[in-house]
Structure 1
Amino acid sequence: MSASLYHVDYNDLRALLRKVRVQAGLTQVQMAEALSVGQSYVSKLERGENFVDVLLYARWCQACGTKPGAVLDELFDRDRESRN
């Protein structure tokens, strides 16, 4: 897999993270507070201007009340479906 910010897997992961955040009822500001980062960092991550760090990813999922594995399962299930 390419390490590009714009790889389709990163795009899909960012879309899922945004979906999880919105479903949890969190704004970008609230997510930023939960992660101890600035709101612009959350925005840039969701728009693809920042890589998704694995520890930040785990904390993101935790803030949304979901398991990191559940989000990855959804990502990989989508990937598997698109290949069929």
Structure 2
Amino acid sequence: MSISLYHADYAGLRALLKDVRVKGGLTQVQMAEALGVGQSYVSKLERGENFVDVLLFVRWCQACGIPAGQTLDKLLPVDN
């Protein structure tokens, strides 16, 4: 399956990352500082102009004080 920046699952990831950041009490500027990137990079990730790689995802979650696995569980429910 090919997933583009505009796929529904990716839109869900962007919304989840923003939600985690906001609930973690971080602005885009603070998140950028935590990740060692510019604020515009964080904005582009949240708007879907860039893909999120797995290491950045983990660092994002760490900056917000939430385990990456717990965050993934919110994104893609496990089929039983």
TM-score interval (norm. to shorter): over 0.9
- Unaligned runs of 5+ residues in structure 2 are none
- Unaligned runs of 5+ residues in structure 1 are none
Matched letter for residue 59 of structure 2: R
- Provide the aligned C-alpha RMSD in A: 1.3
Larger fraction in helix: 1
Name the % identity.
73
Following superposition, the deviation at residue 2 of structure 1 comes to 1.8
Q: Normalising by structure 2, report the TM-score.
A: 0.93
Q: Which residue of 1 aligns with 2:63?
A: 63
1:49-73 Cα offsets, whole Å, 9 max, x none, are: 0001110000000000001111110
Large movers: runs of 4+ above 3 Å? none
Q: Normalising by structure 1, report the TM-score.
A: 0.89
Following superposition, the deviation at residue 76 of structure 1 comes to 1.1
Q: Which residue of 2 aligns with 1:40?
A: 40
CA distance in 2, matches of 1:11, 1:3: 11
